[in-house]
Amino acid sequence: MESKAYCKWFAYPICKETIDLDSLAAHMASHNTPYSKGAIKGMLTDMVGCIKELLLEGKNVKIADLAIFSLGIKNNGGADKTEDFQVSKHIKGVKLRARATGDLITKSLNLEASLRRAGNI
């Protein structure tokens, strides 16, 4: 039986570039701020470290109009009884989750995203 998706054309996002923390700090510094690229990078670096720390403490971190960051668990089946549950047996790993919030929610993105044919980039 052939898939309903066979020989069909679908949209997918194309990433032109990945911006690292240093480039993000430089970009932010270029927006008429009194802070230098170095000061901004220092604050962002500290922010990243603090977000990791808070997530590992079991807290979610919300950055308004961006995302709520949280940790998720990749389960590997389940135990029939609570006393049979073993972390090493029933958990594959932990993953980082980011749920859009505020201005970045799907409804807003649909209005603001730039869509075009890949051949027209």
Per-residue pLDDT at 104: 77
The whole-number mean pLDDT for each consecutive block of 10 residues of the chain, a chain of 121 residues, reads 83 86 97 96 98 97 95 93 92 95 74 61 50
**Amino acid identity of 43?**
M
Tokens at 43, concatenated: 């604050």
In angstroms, rounded to a whole number, what is the distance separating the alpha carbons of residues 29 and 22? 11
Residue 83: φ, ψ to 5°: -70, -15
- Do 75 and 64 meet the contact criterion of CB atoms below 8 Å apart? no
Give which of 59, 28, 60 is closest to 45, Cα–Cα: 28
pLDDT of residue 120: 52
Report how far residue 53's alpha carbon sits from residue 59's, in angstroms, rounded to the nearest whole number.
9
Q: Using a cut of 0.85, tell me whether the model's pTM lies above it.
A: no
Given this model, what pLDDT does residue 111 score?
60
pLDDT, residue 14, reads 79
